[in-house]
């Protein structure tokens, strides 16, 4: 078809679509109307396969041509043009697939939910009309067959339309799309709910970008549709049961209609959204805002249970269940928001650890708040290893650490030398040290960022998507009890301006801005916390001074609205162009003097400030201050200060839980008589009284097990063999030479059952591999059967013994007692079985003598030599009567041998079981050893000061802090000038307070704690033995959960300490003035960098929402009338915060003046220049 050429039905203008069996063109119909014209491949008059396809389309169109509905694409004309099928139809704007591609190109996962629900609703109404009025199913619902016209959807492409009364003989319907086909269509069946199944898949794909089945070919897809459960994790939690029901394998369990399915989707989230959008005013009347539900015109949202359903099927339409998983935002009172905290360099690492310890005290297990993510970034490989050092609850996990490595110079020369030359002097490039560390060179820090830009931004994208996922929000709110403020993410970046990592601060800010815009999060906030060292201390290294000055210069330079930012990341990498501040807010921090104590206080200020912003309504007040416009002459930099009166409840519970777990482990390890003596007696009596452990039952089961090898029960197999020999004895060959035949018959029987007690017997409990090959076939089969039965009973008895460790008290001793009793029983049973075997051996020996005599009679007639017990094969000749006697004794001997071997197999069973139980007892020794090791590690204090955390890069400080742990955090806080600690009963030491609390537990409370650890930790891990034996890292998999569970239990017994009440009681007892004390606390919260004259400052105080807190708030109002009060529910401590607004140019000049000389000295020498990029020569002066 040529563009612009005429056709019998109009003039073709534009090719629109080419599929496997058709082409669609845009055409101009008579009258100047634009239509779509479809040419179906194949000739209706042909007999080949293409003709069959055309005929199928013709029949489908004859079924659909009577359908008239606003959401069914209208067909204007259907005509056979010389056997070619041509269809003229309504011209659509685009398909839903086209809309989906447009949304993904704009950075979305798929079509926004509100728009998609409207589209799906239109399609559902059309499909229900086809089904109810015309008894038709479309059978090819997919995004390409749903067309958008004036923002409404119409169903099209009716090539597979079929009536419910017509079924197909072949399994897969011809032309059906396996990606969307319902299970019954693969079986050649059609139901009135087949299209609903396809519509559900279309909804999930267009919303999330993922289908519920990911097969790679039609056969695999058919298998998944018919047998496997759909993958629905990409959906919101509230929508999963709705889609799961629509995708039921049984059509009867799906929704009665497609519209009922759409109703359920609306009900899944509409109420939660309405509550979030329509807060109830004070007068009690809800604001009349139009909800998404109300926009659906006549779509009823009630009466979803129109047909009976199985009780096992999901009920997503139930209002109570529809609200499950919905997280309602509370923008005026909530605190939680999706948050990512990025730490750069060693200062960032220390700040992240501080913040983790704060959350550890408040939340306990950080896994309870998945909407908060930590990410540590550093080019230094040794720093990455340092980040994961420490106790498990404080150390960063491997997934929270990102290594941004530098490469050797040769790599950059080969890959991107020309590109690097645009902004990085070769002197800097060739100065990369062999250690591949930045060593404080900011340009090398930016080089590491440029080289890893694509990979790093992809990681940040995953982090943002993870923290904003609806499941993450729901879990965080439900597990912490804190309210959600909104679902807009915020990102905090923490870095030291004097380190090499500050070289990519500006690039990171603009990269995050672009990423958030791509993810349709333009309102997301970026905040930078920048550590500037000790600006007034002359001992600050010159390189650090120059770096700090250069970092602030670059941030201030690009903050000018007239200066654009532009960067190219790699020769073929992405290019970034932006304008405006890289960060919405930048906070500066400085040291009063260069000392580890001053650094500790700065980190404590930052930890307290960030923690309360992330968990309390203080963030609402801070955002209000941050969003104030920057006045003329002000810089984009701010600062803050904090002081807290703190009751470390979480740390106290943690340490008390650690001590309680140590004492419990000591009791678990005790080798005295088991505490649960009665339970041990009852369990042993119950197990050993099992009728299946009786010798008769065991021998029967061993015979059954051996039958798998012998081809039947041993007795039956022996009877069949003897019957065959008896028949042979009556034949002429046996009559002519009875001696030879008897010899052969006896050899066959001996091979099968053995020769009785004359055979070397394998000694019980010893190895005798040399005798194994001499065992008869029966003996080998019975031995194998005994081993299998013993293995089964080993599992049963071991499980019974290990179950004794579920009882509180001396757990290991109880299990050892049970296993020892089982082993003793096996030894006694083996001895008894050996006695039975010896008695049977005598009978077998007697039968052997009778058989010997009969054999000698057969051989005597042939003149053979006498036949003794040591020689089985002699010659002779006997009569028919003698053969009969021989057969009778042979049968008797064989059965006696069978009985003897079965009894011997029973003895082998008890011996093998005794050996296995002995091994289990030895395993308990390993369990004791590992548990004792864990107890010692649990009791060990933090490493001494020799194990130090390296000082923050760019700080120039020597020394460090102990190995990161709750104890080291407590020591740091206890000595900090930023907090006053309050402990119960006036105790001043946290360890002492924890010991006092742990030892105050009553015996029944200790037993309850022991049981709680069993139910909450040991049970899910498979018991104490499995937890100790199977874990590769028992500190993380066993000890940490034990501590979490113990702390949660002790939390119920530790009285709440209201700091406000303690402060007022102490003031009354000592005669102090509470108002004066409040002013003193507020003074201690002086911002780390204070504006001249205290301008642009706002003070806050966080007070517990208690009666004592209310009284304290009144005193605070009198002491400081301008102090803004924030009442916090569930908080027991006080926190004073002073927010320093935007610093003036004079403030910044005063701060940076000591650093300017070092900067100017280094900036003129490319080799020593502190700037991160050299393609900009004219930086805006920081202090003109």
* pLDDT digit string, tens, across residues 515-534: 999 998 989 999 999 999 98
**pLDDT-based confidence at 834, cuts 50/70/90?**
very high
| Least confident range of 308-317, 324-333, 972-981 | 308-317
| Least confident range of 386-390, 588-592, 967-971, 1084-1088 | 967-971
CA distances from 733 to 738, 742, 747 (A): 8, 11, 17
pLDDT at residue 424 is higher than 80: yes
Find, among 357, 475, 542, 441, the residue nearest to 967 by Cα: 357
pLDDT at residue 1099 is higher than 90: yes
pLDDT at residue 298 is higher than 80: no
pLDDT at residue 261 is higher than 90: yes
pLDDT at residue 949 is higher than 50: no
pLDDT at residue 81 is higher than 80: no
**pLDDT-based confidence at 859, cuts 50/70/90?**
confident
pLDDT of residue 868: 42
Question: How many CB atoms neighbour CB 86 within 10 A?
Answer: 18
Collapse the DSSP code of 576 into the 3-class scheme (helix H, G, I; strand E, B; otherwise coil) and give the result. strand
Could you tell me which CATH class the domain 1-91 is placed in?
alpha beta
Between residues 530 and 22, which one has the greater pLDDT? 530
For 557, counting Cβ atoms within 10 Å of its Cβ (0-12 exposed, 13-18 middle, 19+ buried), the class is middle
Mean pLDDT of 44-55: 60
pLDDT of residue 322: 33
Helices vs. strands in the chain: H and E counts, helices first: 39, 24
pLDDT of residue 49: 52
pLDDT, one tens digit per residue, over 647-685 is 888 888 888 888 899 999 999 988 888 888 888 889 889
pLDDT at residue 768 is higher than 70: no
Q: HEC profile for 323-359?
A: CCCCCCCCCCCCCECCEEEEEEHHHHHHHHHHHHHHH
The DSSP bridge partners found for residue 1127 are: 1103
Between residues 914 and 730, which one has the greater pLDDT? 914
- d(CA 564, CA 585) in angstroms, rounded, equals 18
pLDDT of residue 331: 79
pLDDT of residue 956: 44
pLDDT of residue 622: 92
Between residues 33 and 826, which one has the greater pLDDT? 826
Are the C-beta atoms of 422 and 416 separated by less than 8 Å? no
Helix axes 738-753, 880-939, angle to 10 degrees: 10
Segment (H or E) for 575 = strand 575-579
Helix axes 194-208, 258-277, angle to 10 degrees: 40
Mean pLDDT of 790-795: 93
pLDDT at residue 642 is higher than 90: yes
pLDDT, one tens digit per residue, over 217-255 is 888 888 899 989 999 988 888 899 999 999 999 999 999
CATH superfamily label, 339-594+628-636+1146-1163: Tubulin/FtsZ, GTPase domain (3.40.50.1440)
Between residues 310 and 940, which one has the greater pLDDT? 940
pLDDT of residue 250: 93
CATH superfamily label, 95-280+290-324: Transferase(Phosphotransferase) domain 1 (1.10.510.10)
pLDDT of residue 754: 81
pLDDT of residue 45: 60
pLDDT, one tens digit per residue, over 264-290 is 998 886 543 443 334 333 343 333 333
pLDDT at residue 508 is higher than 80: yes
pLDDT of residue 458: 93
pLDDT of residue 565: 94
Between residues 312 and 508, which one has the greater pLDDT? 508
Q: What percent of the chain has pLDDT over 70?
A: 84
pLDDT at residue 1057 is higher than 70: yes
Phi first, then psi: give them for residue 1165, nearest 5 degrees.
Answer: -115, 110
Mean pLDDT of 576-603: 91
pLDDT of residue 412: 86
Residue ranges of the chain assigned to CATH 1.10.510.10: 95-280+290-324
Q: Indicate the average pLDDT of the chain.
A: 82
pLDDT at residue 870 is higher than 80: no
pLDDT at residue 317 is higher than 60: no
Mean pLDDT of 129-145: 90
**pLDDT-based confidence at 867, cuts 50/70/90?**
very low
Torsion angle, alpha carbons of 1115, 1120, 1122, 1123, to 10: -70
pLDDT of residue 763: 31
- Joined tokens for residue 147: 């067309």
Mean pLDDT of 70-87: 82
Residue ranges of the chain assigned to CATH 3.40.50.1440: 339-594+628-636+1146-1163
pLDDT of residue 212: 93
Residue ranges of the chain assigned to CATH 3.30.200.20: 1-91
Are the C-beta atoms of 550 and 1159 separated by less than 8 Å? yes
**pLDDT-based confidence at 1098, cuts 50/70/90?**
very high
């Amino acid at each position: 078809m040529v563009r612009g050429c005429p056709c019998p039905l109009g003039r073709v203008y534009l090719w629109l679509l080419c599929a496997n069996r058709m082409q669609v063109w845009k055409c101009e119909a008579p009258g100047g109307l634009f239509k779509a014209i479809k040419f179906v491949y194949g000739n209706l008059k042909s007999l080949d396969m293409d003709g069959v396809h055309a005929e199928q389309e013709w029949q489908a169109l004859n079924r659909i041509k009577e359908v008239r509905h606003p959401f069914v694409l209208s067909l204007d004309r259907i005509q056979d043009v010389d056997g070619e099928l041509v269809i003229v139809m309504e011209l659509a704007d685009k398909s839903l697939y086209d809309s989906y591609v447009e949304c993904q190109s704009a950075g979305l996962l798929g079509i926004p939910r509100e728009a998609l629900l409207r589209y799906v609703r239109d399609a559902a109404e059309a499909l229900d009309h086809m089904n109810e009025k015309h008894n038709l199913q479309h059978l090819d619902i997919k995004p390409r067959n749903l067309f958008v016209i004036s923002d409404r959807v119409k169903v099209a492409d009716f090539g597979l339309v079929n009536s419910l009364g017509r079924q197909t003989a072949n399994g897969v319907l011809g032309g059906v799309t396996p990606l969307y086909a319902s299970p019954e269509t693969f079986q050649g069946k059609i139901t009135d709910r087949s299209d609903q199944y396809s519509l559900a898949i279309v909804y999930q794909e267009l919303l999330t970008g993922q289908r519920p089945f990911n097969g790679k070919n039609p056969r695999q897809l058919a298998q998944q549709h018919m047998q496997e459960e759909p993958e629905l994790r990409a959906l919101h939690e509230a929508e999963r049961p709705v889609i799961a029901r629509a995708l039921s394998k049984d059509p009867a369990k799906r929704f009665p209609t497609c519209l009922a399915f759409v109703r359920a989707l609306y009900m899944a989230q509409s109420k939660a959204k309405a509550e979030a959008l329509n807060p109830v005013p004070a007068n009690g009347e809800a604001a009349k805002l139009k909800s998404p539900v109300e926009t659906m015109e006549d779509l009823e949202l009630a009466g979803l249970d129109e047909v009976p359903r199985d009780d096992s099927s999901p009920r997503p339409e139930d209002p109570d269940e529809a609200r499950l998983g919905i997280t309602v935002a509370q923008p005026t009172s909530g605190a939680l928001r999706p948050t990512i905290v990025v730490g750069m360099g060693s200062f960032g690492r220390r700040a992240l650890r501080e913040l983790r310890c704060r959350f550890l005290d408040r939340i306990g297990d950080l896994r309870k708040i998945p909407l908060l993510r930590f990410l540590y970034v550093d080019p230094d490989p040794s720093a990455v290893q340092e980040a994961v050092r420490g106790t498990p609850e404080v150390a960063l996990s491997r997934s929270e650490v990102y290594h941004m490595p530098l490469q050797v110079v040769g790599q950059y020369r080969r890959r991107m030398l020309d590109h690097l030359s645009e902004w990085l002097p070769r002197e800097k490039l060739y100065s990369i040290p062999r250690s591949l560390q930045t060593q404080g060179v900011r340009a090398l820090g930016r080089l590491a960022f440029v080289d890893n830009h694509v990979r790093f931004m992809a990681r940040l994208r995953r982090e943002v998507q993870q923290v904003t996922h609806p499941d993450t929000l729901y879990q965080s709110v439900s597990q912490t009890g804190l309210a959600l403020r909104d679902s807009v993410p915020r990102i905090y970046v923490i870095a030291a301006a004097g380190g090499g990592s500050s070289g990519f601060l500006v690039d990171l800010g603009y990269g995050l801005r672009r990423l958030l815009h791509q993810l349709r999060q333009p309102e997301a906030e970026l905040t930078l916390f920048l550590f500037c060292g000790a600006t007034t201390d002359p001992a600050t290294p010159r390189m650090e001074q120059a770096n700090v000055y250069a970092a602030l210069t670059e941030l201030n330079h690009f903050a000018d609205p007239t200066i654009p930012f532009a960067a190219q990341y790699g020769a073929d990498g992405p290019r970034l162009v932006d304008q405006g501040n890289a960060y919405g807010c930048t906070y500066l921090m400085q040291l009063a003097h260069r000392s580890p104590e001053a650094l500790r206080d700065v980190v404590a200020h930052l930890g307290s400030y960030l923690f309360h912003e992330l968990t309390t309504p203080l963030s609402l007040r801070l955002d209000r201050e941050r969003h104030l416009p920057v006045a003329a002459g002000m810089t984009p930099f701010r600062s803050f200060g904090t002081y807290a009166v703190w009751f470390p409840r979480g740390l106290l519970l943690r340490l008390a839980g650690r001590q309680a777990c140590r004492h419990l482990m000591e009791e678990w390890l005790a080798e005295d008589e088991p505490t649960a003596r009665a339970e041990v007696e009852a369990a042993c009596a119950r197990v050993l009284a099992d009728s299946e452990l009786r010798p008769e039952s065991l021998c029967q089961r061993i015979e059954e097990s051996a039958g798998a090898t012998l081809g039947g029960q041993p007795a039956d197999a022996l009877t069949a063999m003897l019957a065959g020999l008896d028949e042979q004895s009556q034949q002429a060959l046996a009559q002519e030479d009875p001696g030879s035949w008897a010899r052969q018959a006896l050899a066959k029987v001996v091979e099968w059952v053995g020769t009785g007690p004359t055979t070397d017997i394998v000694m019980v409990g010893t190895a005798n591999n040399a005798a194994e090959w001499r065992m008869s076939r029966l003996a080998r089969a019975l031995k194998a059967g005994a081993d299998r039965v013993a293995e089964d009973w080993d599992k049963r008895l071991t499980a019974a013994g290990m179950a004794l460790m579920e009882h509180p008290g001396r757990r290991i001793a109880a299990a050892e007692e049970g296993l020892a009793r089982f082993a003793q029983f096996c030894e006694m049973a083996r001895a008894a079985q050996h006695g039975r075997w010896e008695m049977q051996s005598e009978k077998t020996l007697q039968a052997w003598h009778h058989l010997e005599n009969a054999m000698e009679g057969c051989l005597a007639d042939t003149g053979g030599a006498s036949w003794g017990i040591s020689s089985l094969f002699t010659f002779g000749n006997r009569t028919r009567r003698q053969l009969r006697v021989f057969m009778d004794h042979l049968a008797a001997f064989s059965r006696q041998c069978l009985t003897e071997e079965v009894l011997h197999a029973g003895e082998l069973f008890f011996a093998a079981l005794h050996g296995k139980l002995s091994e289990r007892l030895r395993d308990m020794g390993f369990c004791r050893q590992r548990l004792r090791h864990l107890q010692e590690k649990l009791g060990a204090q933090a490493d001494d000061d020799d194990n130090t955390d390296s000082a923050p890069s760019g700080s120039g400080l020597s020394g460090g802090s102990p190995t990161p742990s709750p104890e080291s955090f407590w020591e740091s806080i206890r000595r900090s000038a930023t907090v006053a600690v309050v402990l119960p009963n006036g105790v001043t030491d946290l360890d002492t307070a924890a010991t006092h609390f742990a030892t105050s537990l009553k015996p029944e409370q200790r037993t309850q704690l022991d049981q709680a650890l069993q139910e909450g930790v040991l049970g899910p891990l498979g018991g104490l033995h499995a937890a100790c034996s199977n874990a590769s890292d028992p500190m993380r998999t066993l000890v940490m959960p034990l501590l979490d569970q113990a702390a949660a239990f002790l939390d119920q017994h530790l009285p709440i300490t209201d700091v406000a009440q303690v402060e007022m009681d102490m003031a009354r007892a000592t005669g102090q003035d509470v108002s004066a004390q409040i002013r003193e606390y507020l003074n201690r919260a002086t911002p780390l960098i204070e504006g001249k004259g205290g301008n642009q400052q706002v003070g806050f105080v966080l007070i517990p929402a208690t009666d004592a807190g209310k009284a304290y708030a009144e005193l605070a109002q009198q002491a400081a009338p301008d102090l803004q009060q924030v009442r916090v529910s569930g908080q027991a401590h006080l926190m004073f915060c002073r927010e320093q607004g935007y610093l003036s140019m004079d403030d910044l000049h005063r701060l940076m003046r000591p650093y300017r000389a070092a900067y100017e000295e280094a900036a003129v020498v490319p080799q020593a220049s502190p700037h991160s990029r050299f393609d900009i020569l004219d930086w805006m002066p920081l202090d003109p």
